[in-house]
Copies of this chain bind each other. A is one copy, B any other.
Amino acid sequence: MDLLKKKILEEGEVYEGNILKVDGFLNHRIDVPFMRQVGKEFHRLFKDEGINKILTIEASGIAIGALVAQEFACPLVFAKKTKTKNIAGDVYTSQVESFTHGTTYDIIVSKRFLDKNDKVLIVDDFLAIGNALNGLIDLVNASGASLAGCGVVIEKGFQHGGDKLREQGINVQSLAIVESMDHDTGMVYFRD
């Protein structure tokens, strides 16, 4: 998505450790008019898949999730992060390791909100190693729902989480794939 790449080049900041900061439009201050275009682009890519539910993870997936769900006129479900083991049988659960924070947390979705009749599109703001997406895919599989694919705003191609998911046959569509970054010059280079 050219408009997104332009926005990353104009507003993104590159920090040491391959950190790309885009909190001015994607995950702290959200440029909603722009993100609405992002939502429309995901609809264009997945509109023929019979999707009836969008799944994401709190917190930074929720805004884009809501704007995508709007295009599909369907509900959004967001997985909750929790540090307390939920021993009740009323949730699907998976574990996610946070690369950024060096911690592991559980994610849960109520069984009432995901089931075998669902055709699910997973969306998230970032894809790096793929831990969050893998956790969400676990939840979809546990519920018996069908996975239509994954829509990602920015993929860090050099961390290869997206490549591994594609090798498994999962339809991962990222609107911008960053191939490399240079924190000395602040430059961002895209795949293709």
Seen from chain A, the residues whose Cβ lies within 8 Å of a Cβ on chain B are: 23-24, 28-33, 35-36, 54, 58-59, 62-63, 65-67, 69-70, 73-78, 80, 109-110, 112-113
By CB atoms of chain B within 10 A, which of A36, A75, A112 has the most? Answer: A75
Contact of A70 among B32, B73, B112 (CB under 8 A): B32
How many angstroms from the CA of A110 to the CA of B67 in the assembled complex? 23
Residues in B with CB closer than 8 Å to A113 are 24, 28-29
Number of copies: 2
Q: Are A74 and B32 in contact (CB under 8 A)?
A: yes
How many angstroms from the CA of A24 to the CA of B80 in the assembled complex? 14
Residues in B with CB closer than 8 Å to A31 are 75
What 6 pairs between A and B have smallest CB-CB spacing? A58-B59, A32-B69, A62-B62, A29-B113, A63-B66, A59-B59
Q: Are A28 and B78 in contact (CB under 8 A)?
A: yes
- Min Cβ gap A173→B in Å is 20
- Min Cβ gap A120→B in Å is 12
How many angstroms from the CA of A28 to the CA of B65 in the assembled complex? 12
Q: Are A28 and B66 in contact (CB under 8 A)?
A: no
Residues in B with CB closer than 8 Å to A74 are 32-33
Q: Given the known A-B contacts A77-B30, A78-B59, are A70 and B69 also in contact in the complex, defined by CB atoms under 8 Å?
A: no
Q: Are B63 and A32 in contact (CB under 8 A)?
A: no
Residues in B with CB closer than 8 Å to A65 are 63
Q: Given the known A-B contacts A28-B113, A63-B63, are A33 and B77 also in contact in the complex, defined by CB atoms under 8 Å?
A: no
Q: Are B78 and A32 in contact (CB under 8 A)?
A: no
Q: Are B36 and A80 in contact (CB under 8 A)?
A: no
